[in-house]
Amino acid sequence: MKALEEKIVKQGTCIGSEVLKVDTFINHGIDTKFLDDMGKEIARIFAGDEPTKILTAEASGIAIAVAAANHLNYIPVVFAKKNKPNTMGLDVYESSAKSFTKGSIFTLRVTKELISKDDRILIVDDFLAHGQAALALYDIATQAGAKVVGCTAVIEKKYQGGSERVRKLGVHVQSLAVIEKMEDGKITFE
Amino acid sequence: MKALEEKIVKQGTCIGSEVLKVDTFINHGIDTKFLDDMGKEIARIFAGDEPTKILTAEASGIAIAVAAANHLNYIPVVFAKKNKPNTMGLDVYESSAKSFTKGSIFTLRVTKELISKDDRILIVDDFLAHGQAALALYDIATQAGAKVVGCTAVIEKKYQGGSERVRKLGVHVQSLAVIEKMEDGKITFE
């Protein structure tokens, strides 16, 4: 998505070769018109996979997940929780993953009643980097007996291998902006 | 909002007189068509206050904030962070508040560049209960020199006093469903 690449170059900040900060328009401040455009593009890419539900992880995945759902005939969104709220029952699917940026392990949890075996799941997130969150969401969906039909992110850092890991599971993976490398503050897109 | 009250009665679960669980359509699973309808209603209520930006708190406020922004000519959304990400700089506004449901203190943070003194802020959240999160967001907005013109939530538990506390600051407060009391699993709306 050309407009996204331009926005990343203009407003993003590289922190070393691993971290890209896009706080001004995606995951702290949100440019809602642009978000809607990105949702429309995700819908265009994945409509043919006929998803029935979008699965994402709190917090930064929620906005783009809802934007995509709006353009896929308002299919439901489920966001996995990172902290176990005291309102969450015991009937949950959970899967743990490592955060490379934070250097810690996190656990994603979804209440069982929110995913069924008949669901065709589209995984949506802000970033697809090492793929840990996406693989945990894939794990949760398959625990529920659902089929994961697609996986997308606003920004994919291809060189960190996540997209390849998810693709190997037979999932249609396509992100809106795919970064080949970040070096000396310069971003090279695929 | 009548349809919301009906949905709360049908799908919500009271936990004692303090906590209302609405996991199936607001803050874990999201009914995106209904979310859009709620966003439209918030826009209708607050359009006259001419907000230029929506301020919310991660994670459960994000979806409804974006839905409202979509119907307010796509004004930007800023969501305050509860955990300090390693990409966040030092130039932040912060304000602490107590979570009554969790019995702990949390700190909300917003990068300074995301709010300006010219902004007219609409605070949007999933719940307005004791008002702690709303007051912390109000504090952050006023630190930035911005004017808070409105405050809304999907569900207001009026008897916990938050709406009254925010209203005393001269802010237009109006939520989509206002609960007078919860007793023995029965919800009484205003």
Work out the pLDDT band at A98, boundaries 50, 70, 90. Answer: confident
Q: How far is A173 from chain B (nearest CA, A)?
A: 23
The answer to whether the beta carbons of residues A172 and A150 sit under 8 Å apart is yes
Q: Tell me, yes or no, if B93 comes closer than 8 A to chain A by beta carbon.
A: no
Predicted pLDDT at A17:
86
Average pLDDT over residues B153-178: 98
Work out the pLDDT band at B180, boundaries 50, 70, 90. Answer: very high
Q: Looking up tokens 């997308």, which residue turns up?
A: A152
Gap between the Cα atoms of B125 and B170, Å rounded: 18
User: Mind listing the pLDDT tens digit for each residue in B128-162?
Assistant: 999 999 999 999 999 999 999 999 999 999 999 99
- Nearest-CA residue of chain B relative to A103? B86
The answer to whether the beta carbons of residues A125 and A57 sit under 8 Å apart is yes
What ipTM does the predicted assembly reach?
A: 0.95
- Between A32, A74, A88, which is nearest B76 by CB? A32
User: Mind listing the pLDDT tens digit for each residue in B100-131?
Assistant: 777 789 999 999 999 999 999 999 999 999 99
User: Mind listing the pLDDT tens digit for each residue in B10-36?
Assistant: 999 999 888 999 999 999 999 999 999
Gap between the Cα atoms of B58 and B63, Å rounded: 9
Pick the closest to residue B189 from B157, B143, B142 (CA basis): B157
A101: pLDDT strictly greater than 80: no
Predicted pLDDT at A116:
97
Q: Which pTM does this prediction carry?
A: 0.96
Predicted pLDDT at A138:
98
A83: pLDDT strictly greater than 90: no
In A, which residues are within 8 Å of B81 by CB distance?
28
User: Mind listing the pLDDT tens digit for each residue in A8-59?
Assistant: 999 999 998 889 999 999 999 999 999 999 999 999 999 999 999 999 999 9
The answer to whether the beta carbons of residues A151 and A61 sit under 8 Å apart is no
CB atoms under 10 Å from CB of B12, counted, come to 21
In A, which residues are within 8 Å of B24 by CB distance?
113-114
Q: Tell me, yes or no, if A37 comes closer than 8 A to chain B by beta carbon.
A: no
Q: How far is A167 from chain B (nearest CA, A)?
A: 26
Predicted pLDDT at A44:
98
Total beta-carbon pairs less than 8 A apart between chain A and chain B: 106
User: Mind listing the pLDDT tens digit for each residue in A149-182?
Assistant: 999 999 999 999 999 999 999 999 999 999 999 9
Q: How far is A51 from chain B (nearest CA, A)?
A: 14
Work out the pLDDT band at A79, boundaries 50, 70, 90. Answer: very high
A70: pLDDT strictly greater than 90: yes
B8: pLDDT strictly greater than 80: yes
Average pLDDT over residues B77-91: 86
Gap between the Cα atoms of B59 and A151, Å rounded: 21
Q: How far is B51 from chain A (nearest CA, A)?
A: 14
Predicted pLDDT at B98:
87
Predicted pLDDT at A84:
79
